[in-house]
């Protein structure tokens, strides 16, 4: 009852704003290019969501027809880039982080370089990424992987270094060799940190993909809102932004659910 009440209270402000915005636009307070009314955004958004052509069973399956609208196509393209770049970034950061966390010597060797490179935002690599990889997907994936790499790396190192020595002593007492120790004790003990890094990493990857799509490729949500600007389609820009927001929320809550499941043993999850 109280939950429903507070949800109602939470909805009050956004709905109120939408009404004021709609009324202000319709009254002609500002032009449709500067700020189109929400109803126009909604119509535009819905039109980009649904397939442009009627379903033709001969040429395509129902599912691919369902996703043939412009926006679903862009969303899938963006999501694919995020996942691919994320996989590359994690694939590189995880082994390096685990090694750096385990070996003090390697840590001492690599950490200074890491600290210099880490504060450079991935966006700053855009010119270099184009010089190195040209246009298309490669520079985009490079930037996304870069955005994923550092948060995962830093958290993995911290995770391995904070493993309580009592677990290591207990495992050695039970006969664990170094490899077993690493695989069954250090890795799971560091996993809360690693997963936290991944959650930050995929958030960064999602920011970077939008920017990367504005410069290097010809589909995806980032490309679409930049394209809409060329034609001054402000309703389409706002619709695209909404899609980006929804997709980001979905990615983050999926990641959060995965964390909760993988870390169900963790004391921090006690509520």
Partner 1 sequence: MTSSLAPARTAPATPSARPSSDAEITVTNARKVFGSGDRAVVALEDVTATIPEGQFVCLLGPSGCGKSTLLNAIAGFSPLSEGQIRIGARPVTEPGPDRGMVFQEYALFPWMTVEQNIRFGLDIKGVRRAEAEATVARIAATLGLSDFRSRFPKDLSGGMRQRVAIARILALDPPVMLMDEPFGALDALTRRTLQDELLRIWAEYRKTIVFVTHSIEEAIYLADRILVMTYRPGRLKRDITVTLPRPRDSASAEFNALKRELGGLVMEEQQRYTQAEMSGTAVD
Q: Is 169 in the site for partner 1 (CB under 8 A)?
A: yes
Asked if 51 and 65 touch (Cβ cutoff 8 Å), the reply is yes
Asked if 44 and 235 touch (Cβ cutoff 8 Å), the reply is yes
With CB under 8 A as the contact rule, the residue among 14, 173, 230, 261 that binds partner 1 is: 173
Q: Is 61 in the site for partner 1 (CB under 8 A)?
A: no
Q: Which region among 1-9, 46-54, 103-111, 259-267 touches partner 1 (by CB under 8 A)?
A: 259-267
Percentage helix, strand, coil for the chain under 3-state DSSP, each rounded to 5: 80, 0, 20
The nearest distance, CB 190 to partner 1, in angstroms, is 10
Q: Is 172 in the site for partner 1 (CB under 8 A)?
A: yes
**Residue closer to partner 1, measured from CB, 17 or 170:** 170
Tokens of 40: 């126009």
Q: Is 130 in the site for partner 1 (CB under 8 A)?
A: no
Asked if 123 and 211 touch (Cβ cutoff 8 Å), the reply is yes
Q: Is 254 in the site for partner 1 (CB under 8 A)?
A: no
Asked if 59 and 205 touch (Cβ cutoff 8 Å), the reply is no
CA distance 110 to 103: 11
Angle at Cα 223 formed by Cα 71 and Cα 62, nearest 5°? Answer: 25
**Residue closer to partner 1, measured from CB, 98 or 129:** 98
Q: Is 182 in the site for partner 1 (CB under 8 A)?
A: no
CA 206 vs CA 97, 144, 160, 201, 237: distances in Å: 22, 8, 26, 9, 17
Angle at Cα 94 formed by Cα 165 and Cα 76, nearest 5°? Answer: 140
CA distance 73 to 64: 10
With CB under 8 A as the contact rule, the residue among 38, 138, 188, 203 that binds partner 1 is: 188
The nearest distance, CB 155 to partner 1, in angstroms, is 17
**Residue closer to partner 1, measured from CB, 26 or 266:** 266
Binding mask 189-228 for partner 1 (x = CB under 8 A): x-x-------------------------------------
**Residue closer to partner 1, measured from CB, 190 or 207:** 190
Q: Which region among 146-154, 176-184, 193-201, 233-241 touches partner 1 (by CB under 8 A)?
A: 176-184
> Applying CB under 8 A, what is the total number of residues that bind partner 1?
22
Asked if 181 and 172 touch (Cβ cutoff 8 Å), the reply is yes
Binding site residues, partner 1, CB under 8 A: 166-167, 169-177, 180, 184-185, 188-189, 191, 264-267, 270
């Amino acid at each position: 009852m109280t939950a429903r009440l507070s949800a109602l209270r939470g909805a009050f402000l956004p709905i109120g704003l939408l009404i004021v915005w709609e009324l202000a636009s319709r009254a002609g307070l500002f032009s449709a290019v500067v700020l189109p009314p929400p109803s126009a955004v909604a119509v535009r958004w819905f039109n980009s969501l649904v397939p442009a052509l009627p379903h033709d069973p001969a040429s395509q399956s129902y599912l691919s027809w369902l996703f043939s609208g412009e926006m679903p196509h862009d969303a899938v393209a963006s999501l694919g880039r995020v996942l691919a770049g994320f996989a590359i970034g994690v694939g590189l950061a995880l082994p390096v982080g685990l090694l750096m966390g385990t070996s003090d010597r390697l840590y001492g060797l690599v950490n200074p370089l890491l600290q210099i490179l880490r504060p450079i935002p991935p966006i700053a690599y855009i010119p270099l990424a184009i010089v190195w990889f040209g246009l298309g997907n490669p520079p985009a994936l490079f930037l996304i992987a870069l955005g994923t790499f550092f948060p995962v790396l830093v958290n993995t190192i911290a995770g391995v270094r904070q493993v309580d020595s009592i677990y290591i002593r207990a495992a050695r007492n039970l006969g664990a060799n170094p490899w077993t120790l690493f695989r069954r004790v250090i890795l799971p003990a560091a996993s809360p940190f690693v997963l936290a890094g991944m959650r930050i990493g995929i958030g960064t990857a999602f920011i970077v993909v939008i920017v990367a799509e504005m410069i290097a490729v010809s589909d995806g949500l980032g490309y679409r809102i930049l394209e809409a600007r060329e034609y001054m389609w402000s309703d389409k820009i706002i619709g695209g932004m909404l899609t980006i927001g929804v997709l980001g929320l979905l990615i983050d809550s999926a990641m959060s659910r995965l964390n909760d499941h993988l870390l169900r043993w963790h004391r921090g999850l006690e509520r």
